[in-house]
Amino acid sequence: MSFIRNVMEEIAIVRERDPAIHSSMEVFLYPSFKVMLHYRVAHKLYEKGHFFLARWVSQRGVRKTGIEIHPGARIGKGFFIDHGNGVIIGETTIIGDNVTLYQGVTLGGTGKEHGKRHPTIGNNVMISAGAKVLGSFTIGDNSKIGAGSVVLSEVPPNSTVVGVPGRVVKRNNMALPQESMNQTDLPDPVKEDIAGLQKANSELTNRLLELEKELRVLQRKETDSNVKPQ
């Protein structure tokens, strides 16, 4: 009964998150659905110490889906991978509830750590296509990681991170509702920096013109004061 319940939950998650799915039967073809079935079995084997069997089941899932989830990773409820090819989740990764990943995401280590080497992802987090989260730190609840970002340090809750290396560009102390979790409504820090420079340049130019005007007025007054009356 537990297996059937897990299958029904996975079907509901995929249908809720992907508008391209039109029927429950289509879900059985979906990579996220297939890999999570493999992961649940592999994770139970891993917890019981059957490491070879766990990896064997896990690698079967990789070959079928292109998604690699180490059986030692801990994943909460409501987890969803959209498309998913190229997603890699390391052994000591911990993922909270209602997390969404897109294709090409890596939750990995830096290669210099021992023990807990991979990130901890909070609840209601969205990690966009191609993002890399590397190291043993926490991504806070309700946060967004922009496409192509490389995150190397802790992210506070309710934050939006973009760039290489990733930096927090938005934080408002309000939970992000699930329906707003998309890959397009993200700030562009480079564009914002350029806009700031353009504004500063305009202000400096205007100030320079004002100073030149004041200088001409002073020069005219000095010239007039030096002219002797006829």
Model confidence, pTM: 0.68
Of the CA atoms within 13 Å of residue 96, those in its CB half-sphere come to 17
Which tops the pLDDT comparison, 14 or 154? 154
Q: What percent of the chain has pLDDT over 70?
A: 84
Tokens of 183: 């890959």
Range of lowest pLDDT (5-14, 66-75, 150-159, 197-206): 5-14
Rounded to an integer, the average pLDDT of 201-226 is 82
Q: For residue 94, name the pLDDT band (cuts at 50, 70, 90).
A: very high
The pLDDT score that the predictor gives to residue 179 is 43
- Six-digit token pair at 45? 């084997």
DSSP output for the chain? -HHHHHHHHHHHHHHHH-TT--SHHHHTT-HHHHHHHHHHHHHHHHHTT-HHHHHHHHHHHHHHHS-EE-TT-EE-TT-EEES-TT-EE-TT-EE-SS-EEETT-EEE--SS--SS-S-EE-TT-EE-TT-EEESS-EE-TT-EE-TT-EE-S-B-TTEEEETTTTEEEEE-SSPPPGGG--SSS---HHHHHHHHHHHHHHHHHHHHHHHHHHHHHHHHHHHHHHSPP-
What would the CATH number be for the domain defined by 2-186?
2.160.10.10
Q: Which residue type does 92 have?
A: T
> Rounded to the nearest 10 degrees, how much is the dihedral formed by the CA atoms of 176, 182, 184, 186?
30
Q: Are 48 and 41 in contact (CB under 8 A)?
A: no
pLDDT of residue 51: 93
Average pLDDT over residues 164-184: 61
The tens digit of pLDDT for each residue in 34-75 reads: 888 899 899 999 999 999 999 999 999 999 889 999 999 999
Q: Phi and psi dihedrals of 72, rounded to 5?
A: -80, -15
Q: What is the pLDDT of residue 176?
A: 44
184-204 tens-digit pLDDT: 555 666 666 787 788 888 888
Question: What value does the mean pLDDT of the chain take?
Answer: 82
Q: CA 89 → CA 31, 32, 43, 68, 219, distances in Å?
A: 15, 13, 13, 6, 72
Please report, for the chain, the start and end positions of each structural domain, with discontinuous segments joined by +.
2-186, 188-230
Least confident of 134-138, 149-153, 160-164: 160-164
Residue, of 20 and 72, whose pLDDT is higher: 72
